[in-house]
Structures are given as structure tokens and as C-alpha cells.
Structure 1
């Protein structure tokens, strides 16, 4: 039996599709029924009979922050993909991020040890690796420092420490550090907002850039690593390093609109994060841009995926192919 935590998210839902499509016996955690309906929608992007595949999954309602709810989830499980996480870059959500990303991961690791799980694959993030220095690409051996790191990155880094602690106690583990994951279905969050923003024919784009990866490459890499004898290793997953301008130049034409052409100035960004901070303090509004996020926009971060290519002979697909696919599905939603 294979367990997928966070099976209703972008990575989790695509991982479930890949597993059940290949005849694997799968169990997945969920928080509410609406999230399962969303998984059915994701399956429907790829097959005409999503409900048939959905019925192959054993769904268990569970919360990784509640260790008592995890025992049923782990019964008779041999392999675990831990995809569940809270994603937020708002400093006001720090305690919630700690609860889900760090304490929740610690709970998963502890239950894995208790149930003698054969192998755990943890989905981390490039946000947990740190920034490039002196124009060099970031690798898995990058020295960690928390300068200009988001609260999300901080908690994902600390969650990795829980996974490494589990490996020291005898649990076989692998960690993947995906870049910004491009995939269909979540148009109001994460990478989906790039498609929504481009469709509105906006004129401005943010400076800087980062590493991007297709959701199918993330799921394939995870499965390859779990099926291999590799353990106690982490792997950056990035198809291409792009500026945000370059990304919009790939998305906009496929949506039949003009790409944004005006780069937001650093002066405007420095003003906005301060105004955003004041707005939060006075009116209690959610943060949209922090100081650390602003500093991260001053350059295009570049990440290397050479390690996974060499370790398991992994080949990344063409990023534009999934962008084309996402644009097609996005237009069909309207």
C-alpha cells in the first residue's frame, strides 16, 4: 500500500493520477469533500473516466497536525509520499506554517518509524535551499543561510531537518526540492496565478525570476526515486531557470493575449512592501509583499538539476509543452 499525504494539492493529485493509472494500490489523506472533487477535475484533464480512477483510491480524512488521526491512515502502508504542506509567504501565518510544515512533518516521520515504513519521499521546495551566490547555480550542496528567506522557506527547511532526523533513526528517505511547479487546475493559487494574471492582459511584470518545473516531471522524479535504491539524498527539480518576463512571454501568446512589457521598478517595490507592512499593521490586511520577498526579486535565481539527471538518468520534458497544455485547459475553463 502506498500513502500520499496532501493528495488533493497540485503535486499530490497528479501523483495520485500517475500511481493509480499504473495500477498501484493507493491511500490518500484529505481535509474536506470539495478537495476530492477537485482531484476528480484534475483527473478529467487527462482521461474521460476520472471517476473510475478516483474510485481506486482509498480516501481517509486526516490532519497531519493531529497525530491521533494518522494511525488509521498508516495501517498496512509500506511507502509514503509526504506532499501535505501549508504554502504562505505572509509572516502573520508563521505559527500556522510551523504547525503544519514542521510539526506535521515531524508527526509523519514519527508514524513512519512506528509503522516500519520502507521508504519516505518528502516534497520540500527550492525555497528551503537558499540563494545563489556570485552568479553560480544553486545545487543541493548550497550552504544554507536564512537571509532574505520567506517564512515558508524557513519552515520547509526546518521540516527537512525532521526528515533527516528520521533517516538517522533508520527511516529510508529521499527529498525533492521542486522549483515553481507548473501544472493545470489551481488557477487561483501558486503557479496558476501566472495564467490568471496573463489572461487579464496586465502591462507590468515583476523583476527577477526563479526555477520552474512541470508537475509531471515532479511526480515522475518522485516515483523514480522511490523505486530506486537511492536514499538519504535530496534533489533539486527544475526544468528551466526563467525570468518572470520570459515566463509571461511563453504564456501570453498561448492565451491569445499580449505579454506584459513594463518591469516594475525596484523603487516601486521598496515603497510597496513598506506600504503593505503599514496596511497590515493598521488595517489587519494580509501581506502581499514582504521585505524578504522584495530582496529576492533583485536577481534571477538559477538552480541546477544535474544531480538527479546523473543519479537516476532522469530526463526533463520540455517546459513549453506543459505551458501549452495549461493554457488550453485554462481557456476551456472560461
Structure 2
């Protein structure tokens, strides 16, 4: 009898790839999606759509009954504005509801999709890993703080043997099907020559398809109660923007944005947005993050979850080709 997996966030960037990977492996996919939500990334896929709200415990329980496991990929990944109670509601309360439904419906496994930002970052020479303490509280961003809280909830439930859970934590995702767009907005900005310069920091990048494969692998692989960073290449923004520009056939941003100047611009943007009653183009936490090097190691996930390591240039090419084919670069 086919195994049914409940997938939250199936219509998101990573979730849409997880859905496809589940189908490739002959799982039955049941997707919990909000009524009226954008399902552009799920056209004609043979999945069971269950409409409901992650914040309504009864909806989550109803979707869970009859499933064997849950991949909880739904999240509100908003950093602008930095503070938003809805971020906490979706990321922490939504996870509480998923945990409660798993216990009530007696599901066998949870794969919780977090973010690498719940760990401390390091340098290229000594990147952060799953044992590096969280260092993002200094930014004052509800997204990071709420994902730390949600991860702690899952970890505690696993340690108490209430839920058989594994936690996966993607870094910066690149690839096709980024319909919103989310992380692909950076590539679009480079391709459209909208960036005069590059920040001083950097980050870790991974092909979204690789992250989806490792996430589905976690249904049958990995150690319960453990976290796994899903990443690949550590690149400065200058290196990443140059790769993106080469793929797009444009010249890369040439000038380093000094950290002090980037922060000063963000402060001005915040001040102007407050006067106008709008969300700033760039806020101070975003500038602080861009000035730092968010570098991570994914050795553990490669070893224990068979995380693929597709070259990031290929991820950029796949994303660019999809954006081009779908009219984002006209």
C-alpha cells in the first residue's frame, strides 16, 4: 500500500521541489495549503490538496489523519520588516500545531525544515556547523528568532520521545520554480543590473533540488533528534554576484559597499520609511546580515543524508533559465 506523506508549505519554493521528489519516489503526497494561496508551482501534479490553516489545530489534525509521516516545510521567511507577530505565529505556533497533530494521529516521523541561521556562522576556513551556538539574536529579526524557538520545540519533543523527528536546515536556496521570487530575487537584481555594488559579507548556497532530495532522504535516513545543515558552497557576495553575472551575460557589480556606508544607508531607509508609513527598501538588520559572512559546513548532511553537492553555477543557470522561460527577465 502506498505511503502517504503530509507536506506543509508544498506551494513554496523548496516545498514544490520536495513534492516532486516525493512523487518521484512513489509516495502519495497530501499537501496542506491555505485557501486561496498561490499554487503556481504545483500545476497538474498528482497530489491531494487539503485546504486549511496551519494556525488552526483542527485543520492540521484533519490533514494528518491517514498519513505515515509529515514534512513540515511551511514558514514565513520575512526579514523586512524585521519585527512581525505573524512570523512568530506561523513559525512557532504552526510548529506547535504540527507536533500536536503528529501525537494525536500517531504518525511515525516528522522531518522539520528549519534554516541554517539557527546556528552560529563561521569563516570560510572554519565554517559554522550544527554544534555552533546561535549568534543571530544580535540582528533583531523575528524570522531567525522564531525559527530558533520552533527548532527547540521539535528538538525537545524528539528528546522526550514524543515525536520521532529529524531537523534539516537549508542555507540559501537557488534553482528553478522560485515563483515569488524569494532567494532568486538576488539573481534577478544582478541580471537586471540593479545593484551598483556588493556587500562585504557572504553566505552558503545550495541547489534547491539537492535540499529537497536530502529532506526526503530524512524520512528513512539520519538519526532521530539530530539537525542537519543542507548547504554546499561558501561564497562572498562578490564571488556569487560574479557567477550570477556570468550566467546572465552582464557585467557584475564592481564596487564594494563599505559596511559603515551600508548601515548608514539602511538607517536612512528606515527613517524615510517611518515618515512615509511604508516598509523600508533595506532595513538595518538586513545591512548587518549582508556585512557578515554566513558560512556553514554541510559535511554531516552529506555523510548521513546523502545530500548531493551540485555546483552552484549549475543552480544559478537552472534558476536563470526558469526565470527567462517564465517571463521574469523581459
Is the shorter-chain TM-score for this pair beyond 0.5, marking a shared fold? yes
Partner of 2:74: 84
Partner of 1:97: 87
**1:283-322 aligned within 5 A:** 283-322=276-315
Partner of 1:182: 174
Give 1:298 shift: 2.7
Structure-1-length-normalised TM-score: 0.90
Partner of 1:22: 25
Contact 1:183 1:191 (C-alpha < 8 Å) held by counterparts: no
Of 150, 159, 176, which residue of structure 1 is paired with 2:150? 159
Q: How many residues align?
A: 321
CA separation in 1, counterparts of 2:163 and 2:124? 36
Partner of 2:274: 281
Q: CA RMSD in A?
A: 2.0
Contact 2:204 2:296 (C-alpha < 8 Å) held by counterparts: yes
CA separation in 2, counterparts of 1:245 and 1:291? 21
Specify every segment of 5 or more residues in structure 2 that has no aligned partner in the other structure, as ranges: none
Give 1:105 shift: 0.7
Cα separation, partners in 2 of 1:310 and 1:30, compared to 1, 3 Å: same
CA separation in 2, counterparts of 1:249 and 1:92? 28
Cα separation, partners in 2 of 1:225 and 1:154, compared to 1, 3 Å: same
Contact 2:87 2:143 (C-alpha < 8 Å) held by counterparts: yes
CA separation in 2, counterparts of 1:94 and 1:169? 32
Partner of 2:6: 3
Give 1:77 shift: 0.9
Contact 1:181 1:212 (C-alpha < 8 Å) held by counterparts: yes
Q: Which moved more, 1:118-127 or 1:323-332?
A: 323-332
Contact 2:222 2:304 (C-alpha < 8 Å) held by counterparts: no
* 1:85-115 C-alpha deviation (Å, 9 max, x unpaired): 1011134642111110011111111111111
**1:1-334 aligned within 5 A:** 1-33=4-36, 35-40=38-43, 51=44, 54=45, 56-91=46-81, 93-132=83-122, 136-145=126-135, 146-148=137-139, 150-167=141-158, 168-186=160-178, 188-202=180-194, 203-228=196-221, 230-334=223-327
